[in-house]
Amino acid sequence: MRVPLRGLPILCALLLVPAPSRADTFLTPFVGSLFGADAPESSFAWGGSLSSLGDGLFGLELDVAHAPDFFDPSADFDFIGTNNLTTVVLNLVASVPAGGSAIPYVSAGGGLISSHIKDFGDFSRNDFGIDIGGGVLVLLSDRVGLRGDLRYFRSLSDESDGFFDFSLGKFDVWRASVGLALRL
């Protein structure tokens, strides 16, 4: 019996072509709490993230959070006014496609840690910072899920005259949050 070999190269080529990649994009508004380290007490925070998780292991995420009245006015300052902390970070996200509806992930990145204290000479400070954390996204349907997240933020300081010669700064804080993940 003779086997036709003419179609074998085409079949091999089709098997070697990767399947089209599909990225899952989620918009997640969240509420949470800042605590530990430099937080005066647990402090309310709100924000949102836009994440793109591909079929593969890695994705990107933009995370923005705001904590109104973060700094304790009675600690070192004698004033009452607006004082807040804002973080804007871009993260690399590694997710584990575990199957089913739960997607565990870890994330790490960097960006801006901004503090503002009004009525004290309108003091503002913007620092580069890093964050690392993780959580789980539980899909409730094809379009909606719940996300729980825990992250650590740390400021960076430039203590030398070198270019990109940063060391860990003095400010650090933890954030725990829960949000509604919407697949776009």
Inform me whether the pLDDT recorded for 122 exceeds 90.
no
121, with CB counted inside 10 A (0-12, 13-18, 19+), is: exposed
Q: To the nearest whole number, what is the mean pLDDT of the chain?
A: 80
User: Which range has the worst mean pLDDT, 51-55, 117-121, 169-173?
Assistant: 117-121
Q: Which of 63, 70, 37 is nearest to 170 (CA)?
A: 37
User: Which range has the worst mean pLDDT, 30-34, 37-41, 65-69, 99-103?
Assistant: 37-41
Inform me whether the pLDDT recorded for 129 exceeds 50.
yes
CATH architecture for the domain at 20-183:
Beta Barrel (2.40)
